[in-house]
């Protein structure tokens, strides 16, 4: 009995380390999506966010599900890094555009990034990233706004990467 107890005492740290490793591996949520076909968003009202238009292709999905126009997290509570890169054009000169991420319908203030497009012939590049605390069932969506009512913003290219640490 003493030998069995001694063996269990020796094995306990290794069992706990293995369990911790399994928990870390279970939390490796990743997603990658890109715009496979450009889309145009009309910003009817100045400063109001609109859902980012475009045909998205999802390449890698682990720990996420597509629900309507949102990416829904399926995992344990974790900090998720979201990285966005895009190029945009507009039909209106001197237009300031802002992209942002909404979590559960509310804009994440730190995710917002703004660029000005000077001419209708320009294509502006815009990138942003944010770390967002996610719980199982939380959802994310991509939004865009402009400082010109009626401006049509075309998403030329766009990639989204999300991963847990």
Give a three-class secondary structure readout of 127-138: EEEEEEEECCCC
How far apart CA 139 and CA 73 sit, in angstroms, is: 6
pLDDT of 50-76, one tens digit each?
A: 999 988 888 768 888 888 778 899 989
Domain holding 68, by residue range, is 29-164
Q: Is 86 inside a domain boundary?
A: yes
CB 151 within 8 A of CB 43: yes
Count how many domains the chain has: 1
Q: Is 14 inside a domain boundary?
A: no
pTM above 0.85, yes or no: no
CB 90 within 8 A of CB 38: no
Enclosing H/E stretch for 144: strand 139-146
pLDDT of 136-155, one tens digit each?
A: 999 999 999 999 999 999 99
Phi and psi dihedrals of 133, rounded to 5? Answer: -75, 120
Instruction: Return the CATH number at 56.
Output: 2.60.120.40
Q: Is 18 inside a domain boundary?
A: no
């Amino acid at each position: 009995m003493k030998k069995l107890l001694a063996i269990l005492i020796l094995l306990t740290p290794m069992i706990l380390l293995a369990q911790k490793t399994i928990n870390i591996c279970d939390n490796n949520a990743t997603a990658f999506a890109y715009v496979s076909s450009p889309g145009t968003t009309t910003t009817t009202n100045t400063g109001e966010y609109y859902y980012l238009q475009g045909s998205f292709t999802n390449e890698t999905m682990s720990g996420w599900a597509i629900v309507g126009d949102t990416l829904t997290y399926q995992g344990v509570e974790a900090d998720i890094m979201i990285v966005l890169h895009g190029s945009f054009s507009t039909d209106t000169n001197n237009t300031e555009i802002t992209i942002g991420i909404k979590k559960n319908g509310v804009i994440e203030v730190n995710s917002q990034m703004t660029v000005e497009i000077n001419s209708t012939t320009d294509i502006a590049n815009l990138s942003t990233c944010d770390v967002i605390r996610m719980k199982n069932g939380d959802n994310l969506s991509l939004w865009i706004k402009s400082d010109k009512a009626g401006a049509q913003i075309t998403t030329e290219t766009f990639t989204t990467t999300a991963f847990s640490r």
